[in-house]
Structure 1
Amino acid sequence: MEAVILAGIARRVLDELLRNPYRTIELRSARNVMAVEAALREAMRLFLTYDPFEDVSTGTEGLLAELMEAKYLETRIPWEESDEREVTICRAKVKLVGLGRVVEVERRKGVMLARVRELFPHEMDIG
């Protein structure tokens, strides 16, 4: 199965998604926001992993989720140290589908995609 990669997801978010299969995730990373846009356009599943984008490769484990909906919010940055005044936040509502392991990674139009093999719970190494 092919899925769009969301990387660098907090461990507590992954744990909460395992306990409750529905969750709204707040994304601020430009790469993850672009990934959600691509998943919406192509009607693809998401592969969520704790690992950063640079470390996602064959063997990376994570969660497979269906993207239910996504909303984009523009918000002002309250501190003066930043060179930017606004940030785009994406709130993506997802539904857990299962566990997965990356078989192959591919970049397509600036978005990372993975061919993912679904796993049984006893095959998973995520702590």
Structure 2
Amino acid sequence: MKITALTGISSTVIGELKMGKPRTIELQSANNVVAVASLEPGPDTHLFLTSVDLEDISPGDMGIIVKVLSVNITMKRMIDIIHPVYYEERERLSARVQVRYCGNSMVKSVSAGSLCHPTEVDVVMAAHYRAV
């Protein structure tokens, strides 16, 4: 199954999702925001979540498959003013995605995306683990 990957997700968050309850994750990493920006929530929309960093993801890495329940993209504007000399305006794009755990999975192959395109992985559902 080829699906979009979210990388660098905390092991704690992945463990919490494995308990079965839907959870909302706030994403601020540019590659993860791009990955969910074009998703339409629905019964056939899935993501692969892993704690492995984007640069390090490779075949054999473990993660989980989740179903996407909702997606919300927001722009936050922050202004810092120190009168009369300093004025700085910043914008931060972030995404909130609500997901529900489907199952454990392992990466079979990686299709690296560019800055504006998400990374896709071909995954297989893990039926069991083996000792290495």
Asked if Structure 1 and Structure 2 have the same fold, meaning a TM-score greater than 0.5 normalized by the shorter chain, the answer is: yes
Distance 2:12 2:35 in 1: 21
Structure 1 window deviating more from structure 2 (6-15 vs 108-117): it is: 108-117
1:69 aligns with 2:70: yes
- How many residue pairs were aligned? 121
Q: 1:123 aligns with which of 114, 117, 129?
A: 129
User: 5+ residue gaps in structure 1?
Assistant: none
Cα offset for 1:3?
1.1
- Match of 1:15, SS state, is helix
Distance 1:34 1:27 in 2: 10
Aligned to 2:26: 26
Distance 1:78 1:23 in 2: 31
- Conserved in 1, the CA contact under 8 Å of 2:64 and 2:104? yes
TM-score scaled by structure 2?
Answer: 0.80
TM-score scaled by structure 1?
Answer: 0.83
Distance 2:28 2:92 in 1: 8
Q: 2:103 aligns with which of 98, 104, 110?
A: 98
Aligned to 1:112: 119
Cα offset for 1:79?
6.6
- Conserved in 1, the CA contact under 8 Å of 2:39 and 2:71? no
1:87 aligns with 2:88: no
Distance 1:124 1:84, change over 3 A: farther
Identity of aligned residues (%): 31
Over the aligned positions, Cα root-mean-square deviation in angstroms equals 2.4
Distance 1:124 1:45, change over 3 A: farther
Distance 1:78 1:12, change over 3 A: farther
Larger of the two Rg values belongs to structure: 2
User: 5+ residue gaps in structure 2?
Assistant: 82-87
Aligned to 2:60: 59
- Conserved in 1, the CA contact under 8 Å of 2:113 and 2:120? yes
